[in-house]
Structures are given as structure tokens and as C-alpha cells.
Amino acid sequence: MECMVNVIFLDMRTLLLLFVVATLSFAQWGGGGKSINDYKKVSVSDIWNFVKMFSLDGVSAPIEVPTNRDTVFNGSFSDSLKLAGWTLSDHSGEGSLKFTDGKAEISVTKVGSNAYDVQMIQNGMHYENGQSYKLTFDAYASVARTLEVNLEKDTDPWTSYLGEAKTFDLTTTKQTFEIQFTMNEPTDENGRISINAGLATGSVFIDNVVLTKIDKVEPPSSIAGKVLLQAGEKTFSVYNMKGVFVCKLKATYMGEVQAQLNAMNLDKGLYVVKIGDFSRIFPVK
């Protein structure tokens, strides 16, 4: 006679529960000269319902985030991992980090003195001396604003491996952003990615954070970060967030634009700097 056996692989918690069910069922046989066949039988359905009811569904095993890695852990914020691998650090600012529709949401409720005063962080990154990398990510915000991103040392003095943190202009529409850099500092086995949002209130949404190794850093093909494609001094027009013209200024690099704005005794807030079809938002503290 052929016998078919269904093999079910169970975790230890479920095996323990099945053992409890079997023990309780056997305990219902009172002995007293009765046959073991006289005890109350428990069906497979009874056992399955018991397991479903008491199998600790709400308890998840701790998620272990690997360290000393050269890829981003949970950069796509899956439903199973949610925000695992990411933390929020706030200093003079205040905010929270939430899992929202498959994305990380940085919600800033109080601005700080610096962009990093509310920051979303992943540490444990391995940055190899001499290796070039490309970081890409998707981002948008509840209102137009800037976002600062840095790849840096995880401890004091927080050395930036980009030279300095990069600033990006966010809109309410999702965009993909990119940073390329070569690790010129000694190898760091516990570097970090910092996404800094502390200069404006509201929400920033982050998704698809990916770090890859590349052969070499490609030269910029347009205005990117704080470098202008064409050399030479240029004239920029400055507007407030209501679209009102404020002034004109001349500079060669975007870093000079920020320095001049800071020296103009303007009201604190965000300003739009335009040159041709290009525009960028700058904070004035």
C-alpha cells in the first residue's frame, strides 16, 4: 500500500504551539480503565485555528542590518522592512521619520540652524579609498524647498567625502537626483549617508536610494551642485518665494551666490536664484 506524506516545514514557535495542543488533547483522556481511543480527538482544523489565534502574529524577529557594506540597506523601503536601517537625528530642529506608502517621510515641525539639525541617517557604509561611487535617490516635498545630502564620517569631525554636502531643489513632483564622488580619504568601514532637511518645515519623501561603484566620476554636463559648466562671472536674478524680484548679483560659482546672499542682510527665509532657464532655491539664515 502506498502512503503519501505531506511534509510541512514549521518554525519553532509553531512547533511549540502544536506540542501544547497535543499535550492538552492527550490530557483530556482521563484514564480510569478507558481506552486511549476514548479521549476527545482534536481535528487538523482545530489545531490550525489554534495556531492562527495564538501564533504571535504581531511579533517579528529583529531585523539585523549588516555593517561594513558598500550598498544601501533597504533603499526602496519595502513593506516588510519599512524603515529598517534608517534613523532620524534631530538637534536644534524637531521632526519625525515615518513609513508612508512605501517611502520614507521626513516630517519637520521645527526648523534648525543647519540643514543637518533634522536628518535621516544610514550608517555602516563602507567607503573604499580611491573608489568612485554614484548615489541616486528619488525625492519630492509637500512644498518647494531644498534638501541637503552628504556622504560622510559617522563620528566627529563628520568629514564629508563629497568635499561638502550637496544641495538639491525639491518640488512637489518626484525627481531622481544623483551624486558622484571619489573617496579620497582613508577607507572608512562605518561611514554614513545623511539626508538633511532641517531648514524648512513640512514633509520630504525619499525612495529608491541606491549606491553603486563606478569606474570614474563623470564630468558635469550642466549646472550641478555648486559648479557651473561654463567658466566666468555670471549675473543671477534673486526672487523671494512670492516671486517678487529682490536683486541681481554676480558670481562665478553657486557657492559664491550663497555667500553673497548671506551677506546682504536679507530677511531670513528661502530665495529663488535664476540664470536663464535654471533656478535654484537658497536659504538665508
pLDDT digit string (tens) for the chain, length 285 residues: 444 434 444 455 555 555 555 555 544 545 555 555 554 555 555 555 554 454 455 555 567 777 767 789 999 998 888 999 999 999 899 999 999 999 999 999 999 999 999 999 999 999 999 999 999 999 999 999 999 999 999 999 999 999 889 999 899 999 999 999 999 999 999 999 999 999 999 999 999 999 999 987 765 444 333 334 344 567 888 888 888 889 988 876 666 788 888 888 888 888 888 877 677 888 888
Residue given cell 499535550 in the structure block? 23
Do 209 and 244 lie in one domain? The reply is no
Do 95 and 202 lie in one domain? The reply is yes
Do 147 and 243 lie in one domain? The reply is no
Name the burial class of residue 219, with classes exposed (0-12), middle (13-18) and buried (19+) by CB atoms within 10 angstroms of its CB: exposed
Listed in order, strand segments (DSSP E) in the chain are 87-90, 94-100, 103-110, 118-127, 132-141, 145-153, 166-170, 175-182, 188-196, 202-214, 234-240, 245-251, 269-275, 278-284
* Residue 252, domain member (yes or no): yes
What is the count of structural domains for the chain? 3
Cβ proximity of 139 and 177 under 8 Å: yes
- CATH label of the domain that carries residue 157: 2.60.120.260
* Residue 77, domain member (yes or no): no
* Residue 276, domain member (yes or no): yes
Do 179 and 127 lie in one domain? The reply is yes
Query: Residue 191 in 3-state DSSP?
Result: strand
225: left (phi over 0), alpha (psi -120 to 50) or beta: left
Do 94 and 203 lie in one domain? The reply is yes
Do 262 and 192 lie in one domain? The reply is no
Domain boundary among 159, 185, 214: 214
Do 134 and 192 lie in one domain? The reply is yes
User: Which residue range is the domain that position 38 belongs to?
Assistant: 12-54
Bridge partners, 206 (sequence order): 104, 139
Do 41 and 143 lie in one domain? The reply is no
* Residue 222, domain member (yes or no): no
* Residue 17, domain member (yes or no): yes
Do 103 and 140 lie in one domain? The reply is yes
Do 97 and 195 lie in one domain? The reply is yes
Do 128 and 203 lie in one domain? The reply is yes
